[in-house]
Amino acid sequence: MTNTTLRRWFVFHKWVSLICTLFLLVVCVTGLPILFAEEIFDRFVDEDDPPYEVLSPGTPNANLDVIMAKARAMYPGQIVTNVAPDDDEPAVLVSMAPSWQALKDDKNHPDRRSGHWIKFDARTAKVVKQSRPADMPRSRRWVDLLLSTAIALHINLFAGLPGALFVGLMGLLFVASLISGMVLYGRFMKRLPFGAVRRGRAARLTWLDLHNLLGAATLVWATVVGFTGVVNELQTPLFGLWRVTDVRQILRPYAKLPVPSQDHLSSVQAAFDTAAKAAPGNEVTGLSFPGASFGSPVHYVLWTRGATPLRARMFTPVLVDARTGELTGAYPMPWYLRFLEISRPLHFGDYGGMPLKILWALLDLVVIAVLVSGVVLWAGKRKIGTDARLRALGFDLDAERVSASSPCSAAEGR
């Protein structure tokens, strides 16, 4: 490595790291509550749920049409918007609203909550719990505020699509800093055992070695999570592309049809059964009624996903004609959305249960420590020029090739 090459790598690594550090800290910190969102919600929101009835093993679930009839009888004149079996409990969540227009109006009035839900025991069709329109328990309000704030900061910094693209750019810089750091770290650590921490010298040098060691130890994980994070930031434009191409083409024949009354729709249970057959190996996770946003005016839209942990974020939508109950088709996602779906388990680390979540959280904390220590190391020497800093570290810049007489990492440039 020549002097010129060394300087270029050194300066590149320093500045790409500094530019993205603050935003990466925000992403790493907000990633912790998102990682444990399900556990937080269960602890502070669902803790007051009454216990489920103890039934004999193998008790079949109730017919979904019975549950639909009970929900509509509880709120006559309202519509059902969504039906979703629970992943972890023997429950079915039925979402309702006064009308589709009321839900559209809610978007313009954040204080209004006309939509609500009813949780049924999936086996007995008895009501377990329900929300009330415009009435949310205080515990859920606080949890919703915490998680929605963390998600907004993590994804787009409260700036919508421009914010998401900006966070994606910071993710690319983060990956670039990891790669450039390892190029320099490997070059300068040739005369020391990998991961060596030099003690008995300046405290700054010890901290520098610890900084480099932690960065090297988390390199693979940080690169995978960083790159998949960049891919996830593209979800809005990618799904938008899918809607204006494939989805628009599929729904074109039905676009101008009126939304039928829910009094005359076909069986919801039969639609679930049809979707399960149309996407073998998948499980049905939910059904949206005709009239839903980005849906069809005359179809049930059923979402199915893979039944294994690694495929649990890979979805295949199925359309069932709500007027006749006949299958319209199952539509696998295009390749670019499949790539997005594959990246999600690797980014979120939620496919291996609590042990993997804890591992992801610990690695996240280590990356936070690396980011903070990098800023501290840079701040202490920020007024020293590049050549002076390299010479202070023992490198002979007057030679044709850089001498590695005193190994170090380019992270000192921070």
CA 292 to chain centre: 23
The Cα 155–Cα 216 span in angstroms is: 26
CA 221 to chain centre: 16
Of 396, 307, 302, 392, which is closest to residue 3 (Cα–Cα)? 396
Bridging pattern class, strands 327-330 and 127-130: unpaired
Q: What is the pLDDT of residues 120-178, one digit of tens each?
A: 999 999 999 888 654 555 666 778 788 889 999 999 999 999 999 999 999 999 999 99
Looking at per-residue pLDDT, the higher value among 358 and 104 belongs to 358
The Cα 337–Cα 331 span in angstroms is: 12
Long-range contacts at 137-145 (CB < 8 A, ≥ 24 apart): 137/45, 137/48, 139/44, 139/45, 139/47, 140/44, 140/45, 142/44, 143/40, 143/41, 143/44, 143/45
The Cα 409–Cα 181 span in angstroms is: 7
What does the domain layout of the chain look like in residue ranges? 3-35+158-230+353-413, 46-136
Query: What is the average per-residue pLDDT within 109-119?
Result: 76
At 190, is the secondary structure helix, strand, or coil? Answer: coil
The answer on pLDDT for 94 being more than 50 is: yes
- Percent of the residues in the chain that have a pLDDT greater than 90, as a whole number: 53
pTM summary value: 0.81
The answer on pLDDT for 190 being more than 80 is: no
The two structure tokens encoding residue 240: 């938008």
Alpha-carbon separation of residue 148 from 142, 143, 277, 351 (angstroms): 10, 8, 36, 22
The answer on pLDDT for 364 being more than 90 is: yes
